Amino acid sequence: MRATIFEEHSSVLAHWWGVGLRGATLVYLDVHLDLQFIEPARLERLRGCATAAELSRLESRHPLDPDRSACYGIEDFLLPAARLGLIARLIWVAPPHVMRVAPSEALRGLQQMEGVTLEELETFHRTAGGWIEGRLLGLDLVLCELAQVPQLDLQGPVVADIDADYFVRVPQDVVWTEPVGVVATLQAIPGLAPELTIARSVGTGFLPLQHRFLADQLAALWEGRQDEAGHWQLLLDQERLWRTGRRADALAGLRRALDRRPDCAASCYACGLLSADAEVSRRYLARAATLDPAYADDPLRRLGEFRARFKRLELATVAALQREVTAMQEEDAARQATAWVALGYLYTRFGRLQEAGACDEESRRDSTGHPELALALAKLRIARGDYAGAAGLLERAAADDETRVAAWAHLAECAFARGDHAETRRLGLLAQRAAPAWPMVLERLGAYAQARGDTQEARHLLAEHEELTQRIGRVAARLA
């Protein structure tokens, strides 16, 4: 048995390609479904790769990187995995608390995604066993809990993949299930390949830094290194003691663990978190960073935590983070540009248009900027009635496949506000054709037609909207 750990999940794509994975059923444990539309031009660049190294060079460094030359990242790497023939079926194993809301939340999100048709959405149904099956972006997909996996008919080569954020419930940041039980369940799957891939997902903020060791624990369990696995379990047990109010007992246990393994950065970091004495805490944290640079303070990681884990946020915190981003070293220009995007996005949550716009400008010194921030800024301007100011931002968002559908819909709104009905219709139809399962676009197109006096087209569009809404409602009812 062999386990391979990656810092971020999308790095597994080049690894799968390099080890010759083809036509596999992927048992994929993750809080998120990293399957999104990617425009054909990007996919063609991936198909042209001859080596895993070439494929790796086309991976995005961060989901908020303003350099948009990459072809895939942590939010969409499963689509190229399917289109390159690496996987033929995806078994998305979600935590129970995610499964309770995932069908309805995913259905709402998928309606707005480019490339998703109503006919595909209508393939989804809940089986007699309780799991959900369907087809999305051309890939056969099953959504289930871990306990249901042994009941599935798993064909062809079967491989397992885990994002460590599967184990942590947010925003509480609590480990909700035992890695030892998960590994045991996976290893009991008949025909499962001996290799496990694991993503830490710490640097982008999806997994708390104190839980970074979960990836190491999973790898040790998978490979049968029981002594090491026991060490990581000890750290997990002490965290549970702390969360039940036994802080002193937990700290004592961590110090014993550190005495046995003085080079363990995770133990040092945990001691630093639990130490009540500020100076003692500082020394532990500094030692952890010396032992492993991954435990060093990182403003970009902390910025990502607010976006990824729904952490509570105050405006004063954003202002303090801005001072840290400003102070980032010049040799770290790419990470600083990404940090400006993340900071600007946080400012938009408070409606702070001026500050968010300044962050956007900083991020664009050597790039065109990030489309998600441009879209968020445009929405703020539209909310203030500044359609002219929003249009330029929306044009930027419309140039990127990640945001262009929403950008076209809002550009149609801007065109309608200035009385350009032909442009309103053109842009609205662009959005509708790209995302034909999104009822809102049809509803708005009908309203625009009604406003310009084209009652016949308005009736037609609103009737289409009504039919689409009813059909999606029937899908939702099947999944409930």
Contact status, residue 373 vs residue 348, Cβ threshold 8 Å:
yes
Q: Give pLDDT, residue 102.
A: 87
Q: Give pLDDT, residue 331.
A: 67
Judge: domain 385-480, CATH 1.25.40.10: yes
Mean predicted confidence (pLDDT) in 138-149: 97
For the stretch 433-471, pLDDT in tens is 999 999 999 999 999 999 999 999 999 999 999 999 999
Q: Give pLDDT, residue 109.
A: 92
- CA 416 to chain CA mean position, Å: 34
Task: Give, in order, the Cα–Cα distances in Å from 163 to each of 8, 154, 235.
Answer: 9, 21, 19
Q: Give, to the nearest 10 degrees, the angle between helix 421-434 and helix 404-417.
A: 160
Mean predicted confidence (pLDDT) in 151-174: 95
Q: What percent of the chain has pLDDT over 70?
A: 100
Contact status, residue 201 vs residue 164, Cβ threshold 8 Å:
yes
Q: Give pLDDT, residue 155.
A: 85
For the stretch 336-359, pLDDT in tens is 999 999 999 999 999 999 999 999
The answer, yes or no, to whether residue 332 has pLDDT greater than 90, is: no
Q: Which amino acid is at 353?
A: L
Contacts of 220 (CB under 8 A, 6+ apart): 226, 228, 229, 232
* Distance from C-alpha of 45 to C-alpha of 32, rounded to nearest angstrom: 25
Is the CA virtual torsion 203, 205, 209, 212 positive or negative?
Answer: negative
Contacts of 419 (CB under 8 A, 6+ apart): none
Contact status, residue 401 vs residue 39, Cβ threshold 8 Å:
yes
Q: Which amino acid is at 200?
A: R
**Answer CATH for 239-296 from 1.10.3470, 1.20.1070, 2.50.20, 1.25.40:** 1.25.40
Q: What percent of the chain has pLDDT over 90?
A: 95
Give the end-to-end CA distance of the chain in Å, rounded to a whole number: 38
The answer, yes or no, to whether residue 111 has pLDDT greater than 80, is: yes
For the stretch 356-386, pLDDT in tens is 999 999 999 989 999 999 999 999 999 999 9
Same CATH topology for 239-296 and 385-480? yes
- CA 168 to chain CA mean position, Å: 14
By three-state DSSP, how is residue 355 classified?
helix
* Distance from C-alpha of 243 to C-alpha of 200, rounded to nearest angstrom: 22
Contact status, residue 207 vs residue 164, Cβ threshold 8 Å:
yes
Q: Give pLDDT, residue 443.
A: 97
More confident residue, 329 or 261: 261
What residues are paired with 139 via a beta bridge?
A: 136
* Distance from C-alpha of 123 to C-alpha of 134, rounded to nearest angstrom: 5
Q: What is the pTM of this model?
A: 0.96
Q: Are strands 2-6 and 125-126 parallel, antiparallel or unpaired?
A: unpaired
Hey, where are the domains in the chain?
Answer: 2-224, 239-296, 298-369, 385-480
**C-alpha torsion 174→178→182→187, nearest 10:** 150
* Distance from C-alpha of 18 to C-alpha of 52, rounded to nearest angstrom: 5
Mean predicted confidence (pLDDT) in 171-197: 96
**Which two three-digit tokens encode residue 252?**
């004592």
The answer, yes or no, to whether residue 156 has pLDDT greater than 90, is: no
**C-alpha torsion 353→358→360→365, nearest 10:** 160
For the beta carbon of residue 477, count every other beta carbon within 10 angstroms.
8
For the stretch 69-98, pLDDT in tens is 999 999 999 999 999 999 999 999 999 999
The answer, yes or no, to whether residue 330 has pLDDT greater than 80, is: no
